[in-house]
């Protein structure tokens, strides 16, 4: 384990359980490589296979001149005050490079962790998946329990080259006092596939993000988002997909549960610009309390006569009929509600670490108990 | 009041649904090992009776009582009635997204797992479902016949003592009718000799076809929220076929003067 940047009093092992909750296994069981950053310190940057390089972006920029061609190319530093802040005060971030044609069997894991009160963590990440390569990256962003007043800005630029496939699973587990601003741009080249899974089940003070994906010819972008807004959380999460290339397509699926006094704004925006493009947005919300808000904003914009864009949005409560159907099979009311919420949030994410699945499960069971 | 163990007894039951008086004065007794069929026109209250026995919240019991296994269950919540051994195959069950048919089977068997068990696969095969079918969201995109088979499969997993089936035969093709009939027979232990049977059943049907597979012990005709007449299934059915429901009741009133086999509760029309 590299500790050349480590200036933490604590060792990574001390955070083992916290890291596991967002899918980061420090023992690296079934992992192709790891990147761990705690506050402003890079703690692990290691690839276990030849075809993948994992570094922090500061060293990577020094090592490779060509990386300039990818730096601030999918996201503009002038986008907003947060990207500007990340440009001026960057604290590392990961560089993951998958060589052409490499099919990486196990996921690569990364974690951006905040352990200290008052931390402003501004990372800038670059992922490049070269032609014909395939990889799954699981990234967990989390703060140590009890940390107040932290701020996380994460700029991520992802490049999915011709015929390549990137599955990017991001798990957020912040805290009720953490302010979060991810800024993501994804460029998917011809025949490339980008699959995004995003899970945020725990309270957060204020989270706002709207990753932008640009699809080339025949490219595909799939988004699955699971949000569980509770307490006083404010979440504003969207996906913007430009279908720039001919026959490019996208599907954006989101499931949002809101309770207590939380507010969840769920956006989706598909812009169709070329022949044969196809896009669908599916946005479903489940309301568990009167004090909560779900605001679904699906948007479609066609700039070609040959567009096929659609959306469906539905926000509602747990159906009494479904509860009673389950009760007639022997479940009590709480158990029935729990099964329904679980089903509602049941999106199929491949290779999700077991601990993470259990964590999500626990959260659902706990929440259904209050209905 | 005599309360028989291992029986279902309904006394003077009146039920309102959304403020409407649907069941007026229903009396019914099903004893250990017996299967009854419930006939009657649409809107006569057949489904309401089943769902009142199940205890769903929309069915407001204004009078009377439901006694199951010697216990008054009129005020029990649904899941407790189910735990006592009541089970139902719904006519139009809801879709639950993200909850697979396999998960439903686990729930019916009292298992707390989302994985598809060997038992579930075995059961699915018996009902002519593939293993793959068990991974589908329950009732989502199921055909009419698939819903019937799925409902009966869940009941087999659940093994209730008292089985209610709401039109298990409607919309079922001939091929599946045989299968459903056979499975219902198994569920209700109709393959055993009468003295060995313990399970009770109440089946709503519009079609007589099901009676070719289930030789029910008794039939009742429901009309306007009351059980209008009861008797041997063949006899009642023949009457309905010949003269319609109203006519059947007249016949049964006439019969009632001559014999005690068929009795008629439809005294004052």
Q: What is the pLDDT of residue A25?
A: 87
Tell whether the model's pLDDT for residue B62 goes beyond 80. Answer: yes
Residue-wise pLDDT tens digits, A147-191: 888 999 999 999 999 999 999 999 998 988 999 999 999 999 999
Tell whether the model's pLDDT for residue A5 goes beyond 90. Answer: no
Average pLDDT over all residues of chain B: 89
Return the closest-CA partner of residue A341 out of B88, B230, B97.
Answer: B97
- A209 and A75 within one domain: yes
Return the closest-CA partner of residue A249 out of A225, A211, A224, A280.
Answer: A280
Cβ separation B83–A331 shorter than 8 A = no
Q: Quick one: closest CA in A to B164, which residue?
A: A328
Residues of chain A in contact with residue B79, where contact means CB-CB under 8 angstroms, are: 327-328, 330-333, 336
Q: In the listed set A302, A318, A334, which residue is the last one of a domain according to the structure?
A: A318
Share of chain A above pLDDT 70, in %: 94
Cβ distance A263 to A230 under 8 Å? no
- A290 and A143 within one domain: yes
Q: How many CB atoms lie within 10 A of CB B128?
A: 16
- A233 and A202 within one domain: yes
Determine the structural domain holding residue A366 and report its residue range: 319-371
- A293 and A371 within one domain: no
Residues 6+ apart with CB under 8 A from A128: A70, A96, A97, A98, A158, A159, A161
- A351 and A284 within one domain: no
Residues of chain A in contact with residue B137, where contact means CB-CB under 8 angstroms, are: 343
- Whether A335 maps to a domain, the answer reads yes
Cβ separation B158–A329 shorter than 8 A = yes
Mean pLDDT to the nearest integer, B198-214: 86
Query: Looking at the domain covering B7-93+162-264, what would its CATH class be?
Result: alpha beta
Q: What is the pLDDT of residue B251?
A: 64
Chain B CB within 8 Å of residue A333 CB: yes
Q: What is the pLDDT of residue B239?
A: 84
* Residue B121 exposed, middle or buried by CB count within 10 Å (0-12, 13-18, 19+): middle
- Whether A1 maps to a domain, the answer reads no
- A278 and A365 within one domain: no
Question: Looking at the 3D structure of chain A, how many domains does it have?
Answer: 2
List all residues of chain B from 60 to 89 with a beta carbon under 8 Å from chain A: 77-79, 82-83, 87-88
Cβ separation B79–A339 shorter than 8 A = no
Cβ separation B57–A326 shorter than 8 A = no
| Torsion of Cα atoms, B45 then A328 then B86 then B128, to 10° | 100
Tell whether the model's pLDDT for residue B128 goes beyond 80. Answer: yes
Q: What is the pLDDT of residue A350?
A: 65
Tell whether the model's pLDDT for residue A143 goes beyond 70. Answer: yes
Q: What is the pLDDT of residue A369?
A: 59
Chain B CB within 8 Å of residue A318 CB: no
Interface probe, candidates A254, A283, A330, chain B, greatest B C-beta count within 10 A: A330
Mean pLDDT to the nearest integer, A289-301: 96
Residue-wise pLDDT tens digits, A251-277: 999 999 999 999 999 999 999 999 999
Mean pLDDT to the nearest integer, A93-100: 98
- Whether A16 maps to a domain, the answer reads yes
- A293 and A339 within one domain: no
Interface probe, candidates A257, A324, A328, A352, chain B, greatest B C-beta count within 10 A: A328
Residue-wise pLDDT tens digits, A24-48: 888 888 899 999 999 999 999 999 9
- A262 and A355 within one domain: no
Chain B CB within 8 Å of residue A325 CB: yes
Share of chain A above pLDDT 90, in %: 78
Q: What is the pLDDT of residue A188?
A: 98
Mean pLDDT to the nearest integer, B194-212: 87
- Whether A7 maps to a domain, the answer reads no
Cβ distance A280 to A293 under 8 Å? no
Interface probe, candidates A226, A283, A319, A325, chain B, greatest B C-beta count within 10 A: A325
A4 HSE (CA, 13 A, CB side): 6
- A284 and A265 within one domain: yes
B68-77 long-range contacts, CB within 8 A, separation 24+: B68/B7, B68/B8, B68/B9, B68/B162, B69/B5, B69/B6, B69/B7, B69/B161, B70/B3, B70/B4, B70/B5, B70/B7, B77/A327, B77/A332, B77/A333
- A358 and A219 within one domain: no
- A353 and A252 within one domain: no
Mean pLDDT to the nearest integer, B139-166: 95
Split at pLDDT 50, 70, 90, the class of A3 is very low
Chain B CB within 8 Å of residue A146 CB: no
Chain A CB within 8 Å of residue B54 CB: yes
Chain A CB within 8 Å of residue B107 CB: yes
- Whether A44 maps to a domain, the answer reads yes
- Per domain, the residue ranges of chain B are 7-93+162-264
Q: What is the pLDDT of residue A371?
A: 55
How many residues are given for chain B?
269
Pairing of strands A134-143, A206-209: unpaired
Chain B CB within 8 Å of residue A348 CB: no
Q: Which residue has the higher pLDDT, B246 or B21?
A: B21
Chain A CB within 8 Å of residue B98 CB: yes
Q: Which residue has the higher pLDDT, A211 or B176?
A: A211
- A196 and A47 within one domain: yes
- Whether A6 maps to a domain, the answer reads no
Q: Quick one: closest CA in B to A348, which residue?
A: B98
Cβ separation A342–B107 shorter than 8 A = no
Cβ separation A328–B88 shorter than 8 A = yes
Split at pLDDT 50, 70, 90, the class of B254 is low
Q: What is the pLDDT of residue B4?
A: 59
Range of weakest confidence among A288-292, A345-349, B180-184: A345-349
Q: What is the ipTM of this complex?
A: 0.92
């Amino acid at each position: 384990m590299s500790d050349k940047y480590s200036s933490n009093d604590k060792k990574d092992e001390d955070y083992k359980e916290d890291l596991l909750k967002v899918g980061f296994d420090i023992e690296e069981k079934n992992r192709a490589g790891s990147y761990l950053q705690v506050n402003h310190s890079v703690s692990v940057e290691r690839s276990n296979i030849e075809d993948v390089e994992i570094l922090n972006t500061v060293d990577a920029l020094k090592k490779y001149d060509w990386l300039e061609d990818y730096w601030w190319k999918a996201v503009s530093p002038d986008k907003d005050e947060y990207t500007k802040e990340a440009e001026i005060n960057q604290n590392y971030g990961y560089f993951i490079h998958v060589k052409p044609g490499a099919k990486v069997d196990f996921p690569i894991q990364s974690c951006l962790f905040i352990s200290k009160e008052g931390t402003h963590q501004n990372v800038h990440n670059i992922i490049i998946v070269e032609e014909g390569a395939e990889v799954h990256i699981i990234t967990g962003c989390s703060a140590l329990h009890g940390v107040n007043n932290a701020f996380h800005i994460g700029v991520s630029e992802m490049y999915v080259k011709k015929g390549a496939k990137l599955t990017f699973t991001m798990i957020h587990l912040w805290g009720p006092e953490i302010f979060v601003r991810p800024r993501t741009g994804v460029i998917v080249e011809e025949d490339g596939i980008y699959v995004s899974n995003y899970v945020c089940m725990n309270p957060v003070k204020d989270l706002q993000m709207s990753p932008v994906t640009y699809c080339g010819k025949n490219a595909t972008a799939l988004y699955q988002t699971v949000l569980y807004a509770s307490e006083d959380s404010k979440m504003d999460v969207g996906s913007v997909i430009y279908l720039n290339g001919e026959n490019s397509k996208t599907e954006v699926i989101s499931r949002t549960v809101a309770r207590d006094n939380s507010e969840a704004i769920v956006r989706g925006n598909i812009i169709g610009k070329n022949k044969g493009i196809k896009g669908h947005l599916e946005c479903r919300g489940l309301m568990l309390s009167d004090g909560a808000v779900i605001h679904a904003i699906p948007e479609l914009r066609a700039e070609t006569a040959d567009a096929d864009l659609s959306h469906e949005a539905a926000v509602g409560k747990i159906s009494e009929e479904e509860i009673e159907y389950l009760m007639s099979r022997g479940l009590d009311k709480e158990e029935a509600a729990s099964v329904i919420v679980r089903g509602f949030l049941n999106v199929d994410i491949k290779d999700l670490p077991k601990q993470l699945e259990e964590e999500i499960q626990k959260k659902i069971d706990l929440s259904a108990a209050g209905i | 009041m005599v309360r028989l163990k291992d029986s279902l007894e309904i006394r003077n039951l009146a039920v309102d649904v959304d403020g409407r008086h649907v069941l007026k004065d229903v009396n019914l007794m099903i004893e250990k090992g017996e299967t009854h069929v419930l006939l009657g026109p649409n809107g006569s209250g057949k489904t309401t009776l089943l769902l009142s026995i199940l205890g769903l919240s929309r069915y407001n019991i204004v009078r009377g009582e439901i006694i199951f296994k010697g216990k008054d269950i009129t005020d029990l919540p649904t899941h407790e009635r189910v735990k006592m051994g009541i089970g139902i195959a719904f006519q139009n069950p809801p879709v639950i997204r993200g909850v697979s048919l396999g998960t439903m089977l686990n729930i019916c068997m009292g298992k707390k797992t989302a994985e598809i068990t060997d038992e579930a696969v075995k059961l699915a095969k018996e009902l002519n479902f593939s293993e793959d079918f068990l991974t589908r969201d329950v009732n989502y995109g199921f055909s009419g016949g698939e819903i019937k088979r799925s409902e009966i499969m869940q009941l087999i997993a659940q093994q209730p003592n008292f089985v209610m089936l709401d039109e298990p035969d409607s919309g079922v093709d001939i091929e599946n009718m045989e299968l459903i009939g056979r499975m219902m027979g198994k569920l209700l232990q109709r393959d055993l000799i009468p003295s060995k049977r313990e399970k009770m059943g109440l089946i709503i049907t519009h079609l007589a076809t099901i009676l070719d597979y289930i030789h029910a012990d008794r039939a009742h005709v429901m009309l306007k929220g009351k059980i209008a007449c009861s008797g041997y299934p063949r006899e009642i059915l023949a009457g309905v076929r010949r003269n319609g429901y109203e006519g059947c009741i007249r016949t049964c009133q006439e019969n009632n003067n001559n014999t005690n086999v068929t009795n008629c509760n439809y005294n004052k029309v």
